[in-house]
Amino acid sequence: MQKIKDSFFIALRDRLAVLNPLRTISVQGVSRPAILVVENELVAAGPQEPEVFYMHWGITTSAAGTERLEDPLMKVNCEISYWTEGSDDLSSQDRGRTLAALDRELMLMSEPKRAALKDFAVSPALDSGSSVFWTRPTLGETTKDGRKLMRSAKLDVFSFAEVSL
């Protein structure tokens, strides 16, 4: 399953870098596109940064909806959350516009809804000759917490069962 998760994440990360090169986060002093896999980051355990996409992996099943992991087509649930307080210059009155910009970036990063399935455990990454593909993100309701406007989007990521390369 790791190849599926990594291939999806890297595809979105690389697309964000092209789409909005200014949307970055500094992790341990290194600037990179502002999308993080929560289970992989020490920074995710601390306070979350605004205007960063946080990817959370959910349940892995067969695409047929069973928990039989030997079925050939696998599905992994994914949730991507993000939030903003708007800008201090505008007294946070641009929160809605900023959240809409984040929504738009997520939708644009998600297109096309496919990428090459690769093994990123080695360098350079090895192409498996297969693909990973996903559903269109479904945006959740906007929620508020003080000055924060928050949203999460859910989607499913699919690929054929991984074969050792």
Instruction: Compute φ and ψ for 159, nearest 5 degrees.
Output: -165, 160
* 3 state DSSP class of 62: strand
Q: 2-160, what's its fold?
A: STM4215-like (3.30.2000)
Q: What percent of the chain has pLDDT over 90?
A: 72
**Segments making up each domain of the chain, as ranges:** 2-160
DSSP state of 70: T
At residue 33, does pLDDT exceed 80? Answer: yes
Cα atoms in the 13 Å half-sphere on the side-chain side of 116: 9
- Report residue 43's pLDDT band, with 50, 70 and 90 as the boundaries: low
Average of pLDDT values for 93-104? 92
Question: Does the reported pTM lie above 0.85?
Answer: yes
At residue 91, does pLDDT exceed 70? Answer: no
Check: CB of residue 146 under 8 Å from CB of residue 32. no
Instruction: Compute φ and ψ for 150, nearest 5 degrees.
Output: -125, 155
pLDDT of residue 164: 47
